[in-house]
Structure 1
Amino acid sequence: MTIAHPPVQLSAEGRIAERHWQEMLFKRRLYTWGGAVALMAVLAASLWFANETNAGKFFDRLPHFFDFIGDLIPRDGFEIWRAMFDLPSPYADGSLKFDYPEGRHYIAGSFYIPEYVYKMLETINIALVATLIGFAFGFVLCFLAASNLTTRRWLRFFVRRFMEILRAFPEIVIAGFFLAILSLGPIPAIIAVAIHTIGALGKMFFEVVENADMRPEEGLRAAGGNWVERVWFGIVPQVMPNFLSYALLRFEINVRASTIIGAVGGGGIGESLRLSISQGHEAKTLAIIILLFATIVAVDQLSAHLRKRIVGNQAFAFGGGE
């Protein structure tokens, strides 16, 4: 037996609130459906534009999308590893036969580093050097851009606009400019990644500085400390753990950026990947992809572990831990 409840009688204020809620719900649904329709229209227009003018008959080539993936299937289970470690191919065409470089990839004259492992190390080296350069310059500029440390508005304005210019252009665009001037190689890649890193880290650094506790700085000011002393002893100990955390995060990004720049002539594993794809060496392409994936995962995991250790230790040191 069910008991019928009488309808709830709303007051005048309740009816107004209910009507307002219904109007908001209608607008939300209208905006959601309108946004979905607009998105589909823009997507359709983009595909049409790509097919007609920009990408060489996009829809005509779409059925062949999986042809390249099928070509990547190796002839036997060890073909990828032979390609990765420079082992000679047993096939008559010699498609995986390597010419060992003389001296370039040897350590102490005897320990041989496989070609792609050496190229991967070169990519990591590009990212590491660029990150260190970006960290050093970003560290100096961030204190000049922070409003709680630099009272001169014109100086803050200039430094912030300068860092915006540095990070306004993608690394590959900057690399193309320096590759045209300095020729091919890792040096233009280091310069390009470092320039973008200075702008990116500088922005994140000065935002951390602006949220720092100013009481140590005020105490040093009262004791007669100059600007450099107040920054070095009052602000840097607070912000350094976050600085290092951001630098490690940027190093992860720079490893990927260095790979992309390598594909346009900046050296490293990206150059080898571009050549293997263009020359139709499927096993070499898969070997590079596997090596690149394993390296990025390892760098990400190591960086995340170090960031956790750094930030956690700092929280404990300042009383934030248990």
Structure 2
Amino acid sequence: MTMSATAHSDATLQVANAWQRQISLRRLYTILGIGLLLAATLSSMWFADEANAGHFWDRLPHILDFLSWLIPKDWNDVWRALFDIASPHDTGTQEFNFPLGRVYVWGGFYIPEYFELMLTTLNVALVSTFIGFIFAVPFSFIAARNLTPHPVLRLVVKRFMELLRAFPEIVIAGLFAAIVSTGPIAAIIAIGLHSIGALGKLFYEINENIDMRAEEGLRAVGGNWFERVRFADLPQVLPNFMSYTLLRVEINVRASTIIGAVGGGGIGEELKLSISRGFGAKTLALVLLLFTTIFIVDQFSAWLRRKLVGEQAFLMSA
């Protein structure tokens, strides 16, 4: 009995020592990794300083100087720029020509220019997300290992989706801008293609973790592949599909803003011009509208995800 207890104690001590050695080794690797990362960062900054004619380190203290021109003489000009109201400081230049951007709808009723541009950006994001969802859903079922037994077909679909998401949206937009000209159409195509690849990957990973009992039941009664996907698989994964799609809407709003800055239309193009020309009130109005819109989209998406997935999914277990 004593020998058994002693052997058990020795085994426990060996396990504890092995665990401590493993922890020490991981700490060493972590320290080495951080050290290498810092060395690479400092080396890159040194190279940038040597290669930059303006000298990176010399200009670093002035990094926030550009904020000085963002401070308007009259803070009310921010609201005037946002709602296209004439400014008393108008000198005939483009800096204060707020009313010229109005989009008249009926009689004297108008939509402020920046709101109309923001709607264009939102439309690009929504349409491109819809395109991504429509194509990503069938691709995800074909790419799932447990749902499609044909390895060649799975391989082709997976590689195709990888190709779609391999390039940034701005690169794809530049390519299609040369074909269909600049504007929202090129932005929709670029973001839509990228959304197919991104959503398709997320969706097929969800599909590979579904409960296969419903699938096996339909297979046993003679259901074909389309019937099994429609009635056994899709109902299980649709709430998660919608959750990821709503998240993608938020991402695409930001992407459409960035693409707009390079000719994709919408609020991004106007923001780029405002910053490059040093129009402080206009820039702050655009940033305020963009931030508010993204905040609203984020909150609405979170609320809708809770409704689709269920409140219990967001509660901590007791």
Q: Distance in 2 between matches of 1:123 and 1:43?
A: 36
Classify 1:160/1:29 alpha carbon distance in 2 versus 1 (closer, same or farther; 3 Å): closer
Q: Deviations over 1:204-260 (max 9, x none)?
A: 111111212222222222222221111111111111111111110111100011111
Q: In the alignment, does 2:303 pair up with 1:305?
A: yes
Q: Distance in 2 between matches of 1:28 and 1:148?
A: 36
- Partner residue in 2 for 1:78: 76
Q: Number of residue pairs matched?
A: 304
**What amino acid sits opposite 1:277 in the alignment?**
I
Gaps of 5+ in 2: 1-8, 314-318
Q: Deviations over 1:37-60 (max 9, x none)?
A: 212211111111222225842223
Equivalent residues of 1:185, 1:266 under 8 A apart: yes
- Partner residue in 2 for 1:198: 196
Structure 1 range deviating more: 214-223 or 238-247: 214-223
**What amino acid sits opposite 1:120 in the alignment?**
M
Q: Distance in 1 between matches of 2:79 and 2:70?
A: 14
Q: In the alignment, does 2:100 pair up with 1:132?
A: no
RMSD over aligned Cα atoms? 2.2
- Partner residue in 2 for 1:260: 258
Classify 1:247/1:29 alpha carbon distance in 2 versus 1 (closer, same or farther; 3 Å): closer
SS in 2 for 1:212: coil
Classify 1:92/1:308 alpha carbon distance in 2 versus 1 (closer, same or farther; 3 Å): closer
Q: Deviations over 1:14-50 (max 9, x none)?
A: 6655654554454344323322321221111111122
Gaps of 5+ in 1: 1-10, 316-322
Q: Distance in 2 between matches of 1:146 and 1:18?
A: 42
Could you tell me the TM-score, scaled by structure 1's length? 0.87
- Partner residue in 2 for 1:168: 166
Q: Distance in 2 between matches of 1:168 and 1:56?
A: 34
Identity %: 60
- Partner residue in 2 for 1:100: 100
- Partner residue in 1 for 2:39: 41
Classify 1:110/1:129 alpha carbon distance in 2 versus 1 (closer, same or farther; 3 Å): farther
SS in 2 for 1:100: helix
Equivalent residues of 1:50, 1:56 under 8 A apart: no
- Partner residue in 1 for 2:209: 211
1:52 to 50, 68, 76: 50
1:61 to 59, 80, 86: 59
**What amino acid sits opposite 2:96 in the alignment?**
L
Q: Distance in 2 between matches of 1:212 and 1:14?
A: 39
Q: Distance in 2 between matches of 1:194 and 1:109?
A: 37
- Partner residue in 2 for 1:31: 29
Q: Distance in 2 between matches of 1:155 and 1:246?
A: 25
Cα deviation for residue 110 of structure 1 reads: 4.6
Correspondences of 1:173-192 after superposition (within 5 Å): 173-192=171-190
Cα deviation for residue 201 of structure 1 reads: 0.7
Q: Write 1 or 2 for the structure with the bigger share of helix.
A: 2
Equivalent residues of 1:167, 1:197 under 8 A apart: yes
Equivalent residues of 2:84, 2:101 under 8 A apart: no
Q: In the alignment, does 2:279 pair up with 1:284?
A: no
Q: Deviations over 1:274-320 (max 9, x none)?
A: 000111101111111111111101100100110111001798xxxxx
- Partner residue in 1 for 2:5: none
Q: Distance in 2 between matches of 1:26 and 1:142?
A: 42
